[in-house]
Structure 1
């Protein structure tokens, strides 16, 4: 184990995860303990993008949210210390897989509760499958986590490409957006998101006029925007995320793509962080879907205020989902008296999720956590009354309508 590397990646939360006094474990807890609970520590790992294109949406902010959950839980579960470790995978699949393997084999990590990015998520997923360890996904969107590559110990929690495309593309189609052109990041996530949106457009009777792929962290989006503009499509679908989405929108604004009123941008994966970076004068009028917004109700506002105090920014759906999923995992351990993989997974899949993030959420047999999704429109500057007041709620889409139905799933765990 690379001790120096692990210490470096844990340093930002060093104060927050200082060593806790170890309490005694009751006789009842010992009696319930199953194989795999031997070190008196519940260790949680996070594989994040701390320095790359997704750092703003799925980096340090995710670690902050998970540490909040651990602190709110009291730092212990059934008398056992809860410890958090996290690392930067540099958006490289081989690094993500190697770190997950190291954590499971030698660092006694019990579960990895997020992996940022889709390519890295899929590589880490295979390690979790081989090691029979629990892995949650809030940051990645790729649909394969719950279809052909589903695993009995994996949970896709916050969102996925199917739900994003289903909610956003349907809304745009109803507004007359019957011709589409896509600007797509050339990664597994982008390809998955474009395919999901294309299916929705075609089912609605629309046409896809073409697409252009760009590398992640592209330095210049001018040529891609010009190709999209020349297509004449009514809707330009952005099948990318993070800094790539921000730079795509900025480039579209610079070239006047939206000024004519003949073309509209559809952000298939946009976060409140992106809107904050772009600014309301440029982002106003964008249609998007998310699983969470800080200003939905008193519960979301209360939690988000606490998160803001720690991070100085409002949370996105990945960060809110990371907190929620961590609490679900710890509550399952508390209820069963063990962190044994099979026992905890059985409890997770049989327990409804009701918190500030989701109401009546449920983890299905394919690992998909089904919950409501929301369709938003970005406010005009004149409509925003305070900092981070960016969204208008257009509609709430029930989970069973937003996410892929099991009847369409290719997950081998689904009984047909």
Structure 2
């Protein structure tokens, strides 16, 4: 081959090589050429309706809506059932990070699960999104730079609700509380709100997870003569507790504030049993055109409307992928910084932002369960009483116990 031809061939190969290199450059900034997301949830237990298969569907929807790729690389979603066992959840997370190259874990319903997994994520320098746990410890004494808390927490769920009822004359309270980190955290914030409003707590009782019979707890609440019963339960426990409350006729003499109650529990109870309950919600499917459009698509796959955990998983996956895309890498510190630097305002997080403590703040909704006569269509369960602005719905940074928060 002549020298000129050789030079031409070499130049052509170099140009092709450079083109291929430039084309592959975005994916080369990823740790292994694949963005792998893990949904670690309760697939079969007490929280399976609240989170479970619906959380996996929400994650898959988010990936599909993003186009299935980020920075030219495919996005893979895997899942596992933690069975509400913190040891199993921690071991699964460790295995995912070590052998499956998982970049971020989502859902983590139940407080003991979230606290266990976010510690593993910290150790492995990966990201944990807490979508289904309510303990405020996630963004207080247990906070770390690798965790984002998107779901309700004990402050947002209880403080404003208790404060509103206490100021309307509900000045004596008895709490019926799930005996775990999340339940205790909600109870503490509820007690603080009662006292701040000038009321008093006359007593409390705690029950274990998966309690089938609430008779003894409900009778103690009835005997307390408190004006308001603060029920701190979720999943099947909420359903069983409200049934017992109705059976013993407590609502004839006392108000019931459902501090940790969500759409699936209302659906399971039915409006006859749940009517009149007042609660806080991070997300309601029938809020506006955007929430209805998303929820109808979710319903087509899950055969039920999404709750705040499902919508929170969708938000988390979407915003994680956006951050990776904008940052040009899946490096944990870079992605976390991008999320904290980027305000959000979407169907889940209105007027939202991820704060330095990892807390996603957004507007909350104070709602009351409708009477059966008020419901006009399936899943039409709430009257929205008020919108609680993001700035006041969550614990102020000034009160934070998170080491990441810079104090004045």
TM-score range, shorter chain: over 0.9
How far is the alpha carbon of 1:33 from its aligned partner? 4.7
Q: In structure 2, what is the equivalent of residue 52 of structure 1?
A: 45
Alignment partner of 1:30 is 2:25: yes
Instruction: Tell me if structure 2 keeps the 8 A contact 1:333–1:344.
Output: yes
CA RMSD of aligned residues (A): 1.4
Please point out which of 293, 298, 303 is paired with 2:289: 298
After superposition, the C-alpha distances for 1:130-185 in whole angstroms (9 at most, x for unaligned) are 11111111100100000011000100012111101112111211221110001111
Secondary structure at the residue paired with 2:250?
Answer: coil
Q: In structure 2, what is the equivalent of residue 250 of structure 1?
A: 243
Instruction: Tell me if structure 1 keeps the 8 A contact 2:35–2:74.
Output: yes
CA 1:396–1:31: 2 relative to 1, 3 Å: closer
Alignment partner of 1:234 is 2:227: yes
Unaligned runs of 5+ in 2: 1-18
Secondary structure at the residue paired with 1:401?
Answer: helix
Secondary structure at the residue paired with 1:353?
Answer: coil
How far is the alpha carbon of 1:336 from its aligned partner? 1.6
- CA–CA separation in structure 1 for the residues paired with 2:226 and 2:312: 34
Q: In structure 1, what is the equivalent of residue 376 of structure 2?
A: 385
Instruction: Tell me if structure 2 keeps the 8 A contact 1:25–1:78.
Output: no
Alignment partner of 1:184 is 2:177: yes
Q: Which moved more, 1:111-120 or 1:401-410?
A: 111-120
Matches within 5 A, 1:335-354: 335-354=326-345
Q: Which moved more, 1:163-172 or 1:271-280?
A: 163-172
Matches within 5 A, 1:76-91: 76-91=69-84
- CA–CA separation in structure 1 for the residues paired with 2:263 and 2:294: 16
Q: Which moved more, 1:167-176 or 1:72-81?
A: 167-176
- CA–CA separation in structure 1 for the residues paired with 2:232 and 2:41: 21
Instruction: Tell me if structure 2 keeps the 8 A contact 1:25–1:79.
Output: no
- CA–CA separation in structure 2 for the residues paired with 1:124 and 1:272: 26
How far is the alpha carbon of 1:114 from its aligned partner? 2.0
Give TM-score, length-normalised by structure 2.
0.93
After superposition, the C-alpha distances for 1:223-249 in whole angstroms (9 at most, x for unaligned) are 100000000011111111111111100
Matches within 5 A, 1:91-240: 91-240=84-233
Q: In structure 2, what is the equivalent of residue 7 of structure 1?
A: none
Q: In structure 2, what is the equivalent of residue 275 of structure 1?
A: 266
Unaligned runs of 5+ in 1: 1-23
Secondary structure at the residue paired with 2:49?
Answer: helix
- CA–CA separation in structure 1 for the residues paired with 2:61 and 2:26: 30
Please point out which of 351, 355, 360 is paired with 2:346: 355
Instruction: Tell me if structure 2 keeps the 8 A contact 1:42–1:110.
Output: yes
How far is the alpha carbon of 1:30 from its aligned partner? 2.0
Secondary structure at the residue paired with 1:46?
Answer: strand
Aligned length: 389
Alignment partner of 1:367 is 2:362: no
Secondary structure at the residue paired with 1:56?
Answer: coil
Q: In structure 2, what is the equivalent of residue 13 of structure 1?
A: none
- CA–CA separation in structure 1 for the residues paired with 2:241 and 2:141: 31
How far is the alpha carbon of 1:360 from its aligned partner? 2.3
How far is the alpha carbon of 1:38 from its aligned partner? 3.8
Instruction: Tell me if structure 2 keeps the 8 A contact 1:33–1:337.
Output: no
